[in-house]
Amino acid sequence: MKKIKSIQMLIVLWVAICLLVAIGLLTGYSAVVTRNNTMQAAKDALKAEAQSRANFIDAEMEIPLDAGRTLAQALSSKVNSGNSLSRDEVTAMLKEVLVQNPAFFGVSTEWEPNAFDGMDSKFANTENTDETGHFSPYWYRDGNAIALTYLPKLAEDDPAYIYYTIPKQTLQETVTDPYIYPINGKDVLMTSFMTPIVIDGKFYGVAGIDMTLDFLQSYTNQVVEYNAAAELSVFSHSGIIGGATSRAELVGKEISEMHADYEEDLQTIQSGQAIQEEDEGNILSSAPMYFGKSPKPWAVQMSLPIRVITSQASASMWQMIGIGFGVFIITLLVLFFVAGSIAKPIKTVTQSALLLARGDASSSGVIQTEMQAINTRADELGNIGRAFSNLTAYFNEMASHAAEIAQGNLAVNIKPASDQDLLGNAFLKMVANLREQISQLARSAENLNLASSELANASNQAGQATSQ
């Protein structure tokens, strides 16, 4: 700083430092605020999107539930009213439900032993019936055709039989976990929407709809949020994966195949709560889905890499830095010219002062138009310029008086600027003293002339007396 001798550069330097600090603080603060706001906005948007997609899936899943519920109510009312339907009539009813609903994979009903018509033994080992003869027709899609088979009677503790045992035990609607079920030798991944047939509190059987999970996987692959960086997953109540964006190989597998620390995620699913958290560099938003009257919620989970959000915040930060740098450069340029307009008059006055210090009261080395421009300013620099011009004029006047006195002109009229004008008062006193001394010399000369005349007269008189 000590080596900088230009006030213009000093002003520019200090303002530049202050401006850099201010821009740095503002940019840093704005970057933090922008990141936090962007993060919160992304979390809110992700939460809303997860809920929206949960609502969509819930609406799709309610369709088979409604159909199964309606079918169960129709069958129970027929039994309850005593106007029983034949097995063929019920089988035809099931087929019509499947024909009218292309999205359904299968429609079925299964009854307790002899609960439908009391004639299980009569139908044992007949077409589409097993050796027990229990009524369990199942219509399903076989390519472009619709085929009829029966649901085999399984052991109560068989995991593949949960579509029947859970409604029987709970007397509530049930949406099973996605499962593999053999149909005519073919393994099919599906979910069953089963409604118990209950009459006067007694369980008679179930009616329900099967749907494949293709639509879930297809739906999860349609996620396009944040340039397709977001991912959507669908989980059953037990953590079976129903769909995962771009990861069809995980469908039907357990949640542990997707998340190493799956226990907490599984608790979130089973709690039926909407939860948002940060995990493994991602923001996770979970939204529950309750299907019909089933007490066991499923869940959708949307995940978004935090880096995607922070990259947007970083882009905004660099944009702000670019804008700040542009403002900084423009401000410096403006400041350079403003500081120059301040420094130039000071340089001009300084040059005049140096000339005056060397005795050049006329400021011959200064462009007078520059001094005139300074004098016309209305600010402090104008006041300095006018004061210095008055000082220069004062010294010019004193120099003129000194020249007159030097030439012997003591008639010069000196008017001090004020009582504090030391130089003017000194000149005035000097002229007065010179005038007094000259007057005294004049009187002395006059007296000397008079004495000389008297002496000459005396000499003449003495000579005359001697000659006589």
Instruction: Please state at what angle helix 87-100 crosses helix 7-81, rounded to 10 degrees.
Output: 160
How many CB atoms lie under 10 A from the CB of residue 195? Answer: 28
> Buried b vs exposed e over 438-466: b needs ≥16 C-beta within 10 Å?
eeeeeeeeeeeeeeeeeeeeeeeeeeeee
**CA dihedral over 339, 345, 351, 357, signed as positive or negative:** negative
pLDDT of residue 148: 94
Mean pLDDT score, 15-44? 83
pLDDT digit string (tens) for 73-99? 999 887 776 667 889 999 999 999 999
Report domain extents, the chain.
7-342
Task: Name every residue whose Cβ is closer than 8 Å to that of residue 393 and which is 6 or more positions away in sequence.
Answer: none
**Which residue has tokens 């089973």?**
270
Q: What are φ and ψ of residue 263, in 5° steps? A: -55, -45
pLDDT at 24 over 80: yes
The predicted-structure confidence for 118-157, as pLDDT tens digits, reads as follows 899 999 988 888 888 999 999 998 888 999 999 988 888 8
Find where tokens 């034949």 sit: 86
**CA–CA separation, 63 and 56 (whole Å):** 11
pTM exceeds 0.75 for this model: no
More confident residue, 359 or 170: 170
Say which CATH architecture domain 7-342 belongs to.
Answer: 2-Layer Sandwich (3.30)
Taking residue 46's Cβ as centre, other Cβ atoms within 10 Å add up to: 21
Q: What count of Cα atoms within 13 Å lies in the side-chain half-sphere of residue 171?
A: 7
